[in-house]
Structure 1
Amino acid sequence: MGHAERAHALLSASSAHRWLYCTPSAKLEEQFPDTTSEAAKEGTLAHELAEMKVRNYFYTTDFGKRKLTAGINKLKKEELWQDEMVGYTDEYLDYIKSVALAMKIEPYVAIEKRVDFSAYVPEGFGTADCVLIGGKVLHVIDFKYGKSPDGRVKAEGNPQLALYALGAYETYKVLYPIEEIKMSIVQPRLPDGISEWGCPLSELLAWGKYVQERAELATKGEGDFSPGPKTCKYCRARGRCRARAEENVRLAFSPDKGKLPPLITNEQMGQYLTRGADVAKWLSDLQDCALAECLAGKEVPGWKAVEGRGSRVWTDMDEAFSKLKENGISETVLWERKPLTLAQIEKVVGKKDFETFVGDKVEKAPGKPALVKESDKRPAITNTISAKDAFKEDTV
């Protein structure tokens, strides 16, 4: 079965960060269709390539070079295929190889393993990208293809990986004397994209009891809503959720009580930024939801859908250019010779050859200052470039 066709449980491991903390959200989401984005489809394609490479490395007899080559050639025909996927999945494979080789004994390896954690979550199951077991250690490794720094995934306290670990433990506990749990995220499109964490088995099992309690509430649609940037980000009900709406209205419009100084402090500035993190996103989701309703012919009082600004396109550009030239318009006026950008050239040439041939001809200019949360791994800066230089309009 392909990655895209796999079934998803009501309380899935991938959405555990939501239903564990906002238990009613799982049942609420059932009322809305499950859609997917182009980025998610791209990630699915990269996962399929990664799976084939790992399978070829560990199970060469069953999945040899011929099958690997045929599989890759098939993936290359997909619309979202990118040659850079080859390098990124190599990094994932290299990490798995390093973990396996570091184990005291040759590990048992399970690839794209369906794990059952229904002992903790009703009808709970998921697919772990890679499971290694050796020397009393169970190691779960997950491949992430996201490239946004805001989408960096950490292994520490990651509920998705922890549920996979619980499922893998239940599957293999009669075969292996597991005492230690290790979990890793490999996110090769980000610098420093490897995150690792571990804990004794007893700690994982104690967390499993907490999961049982939360899952029982989530299955019934009970418990308290807990709206916030993290829990609401991918929730299908985020545009119409009353709890989220009321929380964001409170954050945006509820004034502080008492007489206060006319200027806020830096501490208060940080507090307001944190409190209001989801307000703008909520308004955007609300607009998307209202637009969909209007387009469906339903009334949203005070609002309507209109046609946005359109753009003109050629019905036949070649014929249009020919007529222009016939009427004395020079061809040099009609075409613009323009070099590809550095990133486009790197993509065409390939990362390795680009670095070999012209790597010494490239320098990285400092980026514009960006405000991020303190947990971001990038180092803090102070006036490395002036605000005037950072935000001036491009003149080229």
Structure 2
Amino acid sequence: MGAHARNSPSALHRTLNCPPSLVLGEQFQDEESQYAAEGSAGHALAEHLIKKHLKQRTKRPVSDYYSDDLMEAVEDYVAFVIEKIEEAKRECNSPLFSVEQRVDISEYSPDCFGTADMVIVTDKVAHVIDLKLGRGVEVSAEENPQLMAYGLGVLEMVEMLYDIETVRLTIFQPRINNFSTWDITPEALKTWGEEILKPRSAMALAGAGEFQAGSWCRFCKARNQCRARAEEFLRLAKMEFRQPALLSDDEVAEIIKISDELAKWASDVYAYAQDQAIIHGKQWKGYKLVEGRSNRKYSSDDKVAEAAKAAGYTDIYKQTLIGVTEMERLMGKKEFARILGKLVYKPAGKITLVPDTDKREAINTSTAAADFQEE
């Protein structure tokens, strides 16, 4: 196996929905963002801490990305994993624990392999846990192609030793307080592998099938220049620019559904065009590069303070209380709860329209209009 799978499990949400995007994206270079680099650093630290708990040989990693925020997120994840490890020890005489486990799914898709962050296997349950350190998109474990692929790989590894009845898939997203877990039987998982993963992966590897724009475009390397994505969003944009009174309820609902993606697409295209102009000297018809607007800044805070005081001005500093999150990091969660728990509250959020799939409870529509007007 090479260092990277051609049909990576982490990309299956996209390649299963838009098979030809795999080959299309291969003409673009891989570029690791700082978010991906931070995520790698966080996973390395989590691996070290879990192995340390399991009394396995390990060396603490070093990284410039180890901020207090990242450390706290990793520690939350490690605490969760350790809890599951101890549960497994109580339930099973010989559980299997594997950190950053390489799994091979080539039985269903050639050149498809990846790394499961944590695998815990007991007599009846194979549990795959995936750490997500991103803040932007909430990820669900239910019917998650990446975790389902990992589950297939884990089954192939352990079925000869354990009589697995349940494959448990868990997403742990500490930075946005998202925890999602989903159970599936080995039989149902293998059926998905045969009927969905295998044929669609074959199409993807061959560059066959139809291009299909959707939420899965977010991390596609071809997203900024993809014609299918552009055509879909331009079609919807034409609808959006019509007077709402001329749209049917179904059309309005469709626009609401896609509006966030439409905004992200436009932003992606602009970012691509700007990068091409700044870095590669690309000339875009009707556009030019200029300096953006900026705000005035002091050249030296110390010298400004000295000069202001010398002129007789003393009320030149502001003192404010640090925010709730920063205070909690300063004190630690337990001390924060003990000292300030009664003095912290969470106000009601601004009323907003979201899809039915959102986990938050719907509010009473009879009071929504009044609440909205009061804001």
The TM-score normalised by the length of structure 1 is 0.83
CA–CA distance in structure 2, aligned partners of residues 145 and 293 of structure 1: 29
d(CA) in 1 for partners of 2:46, 2:142 = 23
The answer as to whether partners of 1:117 and 1:164 remain within 8 angstroms in 2 is yes
Aligned CA distance change for structure 1 residues 343 and 71 (closer, same or farther; 3 Å)? same
- Which residue number in structure 1 is paired with residue 13 of structure 2? 17
If each structure's helix is expressed as a fraction of its own residues, which one has the higher value?
Answer: 2
Structure 1 residue 90 displacement after superposition: 4.0
Contact 2:53 2:82 in 1 (8 A): no
SS in 1 for 2:17: coil
> Which of 250, 257, 267 is 2:235 aligned to?
250
Matched, 1:314 2:310: no
Answering whether residue 28 of structure 2 is matched by residue 32 of structure 1, we say yes
Distance 2:24 2:335 in 1: 50
- Once the two structures are TM-superposed, the CA of residue 377 in structure 1 deviates from its matched residue by 0.7
CA distance in 1 between counterparts of 2:289 and 2:74 reads 43
Tell me the SS of whatever aligns to 1:15.
helix
CA distance in 2, matches of 1:197, 1:102: 22
Deviates more, 1:159-168 or 1:345-354: 345-354
C-alpha spacing 1:144/1:102, structure 2 compared with 1 (3 Å): farther
Q: What residue identity is the alignment partner of 2:60?
A: G
Say whether 1:157 aligns with 2:146.
Answer: no
Q: How does 1:247-326 map to 2 (within 5 A)?
A: 247-253=232-238, 262=245, 264=247, 266-295=249-278, 296-326=280-310
Number of the residue aligned with 1:71: 60
Distance 1:251 1:78 in 2: 40
Letter in 2 for 1:20: L
1:80 equivalent to 2:76? Answer no
Rounded Cα–Cα distance in structure 2 between residues aligned with 1:242 and 1:125: 29
Over the residues paired in the alignment, what is the CA RMSD in angstroms?
2.8
> In the superposition, relative to structure 1, how do residues 267 and 212 fare at CA in structure 2: closer, same or farther (>3 Å)?
closer
Distance 1:94 1:261, change over 3 A: closer
Task: Name the SS of the counterpart of 1:164 in structure 2.
Answer: helix
Matched residue, 1:181: 167
C-alpha spacing 1:57/1:261, structure 2 compared with 1 (3 Å): closer
Matching of residue 367 in structure 1 with residue 349 in structure 2 = yes
Q: Does 1:132 align with 2:132?
A: no
Q: 1:347 matched to which residue of 2?
A: 329
1:215 positional shift: 1.4
Give unpaired runs (5+ residues) of structure 1.
1-5, 391-396
CA drift at 1:342 = 2.6
Q: Distance in 1 between matches of 2:72 and 2:126?
A: 31
Moved more, 241-250 or 96-105: 96-105
Amino acid of the residue matched to residue 270 of structure 2? Q
CA distance in structure 2 between the partners assigned to 1:247 and 1:265 by the alignment: 19
The answer to whether the aligner puts 1:200 opposite 2:185 as a matched pair is yes
TM-score (norm 2): 0.87
Contact 1:18/1:231 (8 A) holds in 2: yes
1:389 paired residue number: 374
**What count of residue pairs does the alignment treat as equivalent?**
368
For residues 41-86 of structure 1, give each alpha carbon's deviation from its aligned partner in whole angstroms, at most 9, with x where no partner exists: 333333223222322233x1x34xxx6xx727x46x6453435236
One-letter amino acid of the counterpart of residue 183, structure 1: L
Distance 2:104 2:11 in 1: 16
**Helix, strand or coil: the match of 1:132?**
strand
Q: SS of the counterpart of 2:291?
A: coil
Preserved contact between residue 164 and residue 186 of structure 2 (Cα < 8 Å): yes
Give the 3-state SS of the residue equivalent to 2:168 in structure 1: strand
Shift of residue 267, structure 1, vs aligned partner: 4.7
Alignment of 1:39-54 (within 5 A): 39-54=35-50
Which amino acid in structure 2 is aligned with residue 245 of structure 1?
A: A
Counterpart selection for 2:359 from 377, 381, 387: 377
Note closer, same or farther for the CA distance 1:322–1:111 as it changes in structure 2 (3 Å cut). Answer: same
Residues 42 and 66 in structure 2, CA contact (< 8 A), matched pair in contact too: no
> Whole-Å Cα distance in 2 between the matches of residues 152 and 216 of structure 1?
29
